[in-house]
Structure 1
């Protein structure tokens, strides 16, 4: 397993050509992006467990750790996940060797509602994305899936909210994508920081 040091890594050529931060940040943040072209190269169990281990160390309210991850990596498991994806996402995500569903427990251990469960699950997804990228593995979060069908097929309890399906895999040839997606297979940029940061109060 080859792991890149988050603080000494350099920007990849494709990222350097498309992204520039306004302020200094670790290249690990810019190198992470969400491609759709995946190769058929498998992800080792060791690397997959490293990604999930990183997610499990995300911060959470009262350390309740409400995130839940349902992993598909065998042919049978992946087919069930393909069945819950909408048609557009299935055209590219079906190539990924691992799919995982991110959910969160809406209740705390004592049965009280956990108002932070979705926020905390989002933090865990961020850890998944960064750790995968440090291992050279791409990730792409998918919101377009049938949640009720997923709940039924995957035996998900009602007290779990379903947030996203994550495609994990090594980057593949963009030429395998449908024509309309090929030109989008580049790291995207961000709006200026001043548009999302407000000092003291929100600007009118």
Structure 2
């Protein structure tokens, strides 16, 4: 069952064609409920969704380290975030590091490993919507610090940190976060993104 995780109707994606609700509802809030927790079942569902993402040759290069708010892993992940992300991500119910197994057991490069992590992370984000949660993906973190504090193998590359949580109740979020989360959403129109015949010639 799909849960409507977006109480603000103006946060739905405005599109030129009907979208599946999971896609239309997915966005990246910063104002999260600092008291909300994530159940074991919901968290497991996120990683099952990630596990079934496509990957090159079924290489499955995506790996995840997860910490729940209050535990040691969460604290280490929070500590490697940029200062701006630290300001709001501490309210998440969980922080997740997405990493790529960049080399196989023979020491050879795994093709498209980071792309595989990206596909898995998007599956996770869409499943979060289905679970009534929000997932905010962040590139703003210190990768070398993450490698050190999480003792990552040399063959593994940190790619993304994802904050997972529940939206803060209206009127409870700090003003700066509420302002950022209510800015109009926008995307480039399709005629700037999809071409046919030759580059720049719109397909739609």
Q: TM-score range by the shorter chain?
A: 0.7 to 0.9
3-state DSSP class of the match of 1:184?
A: helix
Point out where structure 2 has 5 or more consecutive residues left out of the alignment.
none
Q: Which residue of 2 aligns with 1:195?
A: 192
Q: Which residue of 2 aligns with 1:85?
A: 81
1:6-57 Cα offsets, whole Å, 9 max, x none, are xxx7795624565321012212101011100111211001110011001000
**Distance in 2 between residues matched to 1:163 and 1:125, nearest whole Å:** 10
Moved more, 111-120 or 95-104: 111-120
Q: Which residue of 1 aligns with 2:43?
A: 48
Q: Which residue of 2 aligns with 1:24?
A: 18
Q: Is the 8 A contact 2:29 2:136 kept in 1?
A: yes
Point out where structure 1 has 5 or more consecutive residues left out of the alignment.
none
What's the offset of the Cα at 1:151? 0.5
3-state DSSP class of the match of 1:158?
A: coil
1:127-173 Cα offsets, whole Å, 9 max, x none, are 00000001110010111111111101001112111111100011114
Query: How many residues matched?
Result: 198
1:114-125 maps to which residues of 2 (within 5 A)? 114-125=110-121
**Distance in 2 between residues matched to 1:183 and 1:149, nearest whole Å:** 31
1:78-117 maps to which residues of 2 (within 5 A)? 78-117=74-113
Q: TM-score, normalised by structure 2?
A: 0.88
Q: Is the 8 A contact 1:103 1:121 kept in 2?
A: yes
Q: Which residue of 1 aligns with 2:141?
A: 145
What's the offset of the Cα at 1:174? 6.1
What's the offset of the Cα at 1:109? 4.6
- The higher-RCO structure (CA 8 Å, 6+ apart) is 1
What's the offset of the Cα at 1:80? 1.1
Q: Is the 8 A contact 1:11 1:27 kept in 2?
A: no
What's the offset of the Cα at 1:68? 0.5
Q: 1:36 to 1:13 in 2, by over 3 A?
A: closer
